[in-house]
Amino acid sequence: MRLPEEPDLPPQINIVPMIDVIFAILTFFILSSLFLTRLEGIPVNLPKAGTAEKQTAEPLTITVDPKGNISLNRKSTNLDELTQQMRQLALANGEQLVVVNADEKVSHGRVIAIMDRLRQIKGVKLAIATERPN
């Protein structure tokens, strides 16, 4: 007894699962790239400087926001506490690069006062964060 033959169906490629996989991979790469950015301090509007250079050493970041508030590595502090904290960090690390990340609206005197205090600490090297003009 012979069974009736089924009609041959043309081969089909179902692309819906493939689209789902591609979308999942794309989502993974987009989300993971968002976490690759490196934040150094509190976001402020940096002044522009044509001679800006990128630093390679791992610096400590002192941020001065537009209101004049001071932060050391994203932790709020004041000028007197900053000096004590920097003395401890400089003694522990030997020579330490410190980047002053001051908003362009902060008064010049405030930034100079911070830099003056930092210069009195042995082993501290100062840098000022800027952006290149477009």
pLDDT digits (tens, 9 = 90+) for 80-114: 888 888 887 776 767 778 888 888 888 888 888 88
Q: Can you give the pTM of this predicted structure?
A: 0.56
Residue 75 resides in a domain: yes
Residue 96 resides in a domain: yes
Positive or negative: CA dihedral 85, 112, 69, 38: negative
CATH number at residue 108: 3.30.420.270
For the chain, what is the domain count? 1
Closest CA to 41 of 69, 66, 62: 62
pLDDT band of 118, cuts 50, 70, 90: confident
In whole numbers, what is the pLDDT of the chain averaged over residues? 80
pLDDT tens sequence across 40-70: 566 777 777 777 666 555 778 888 888 888 8
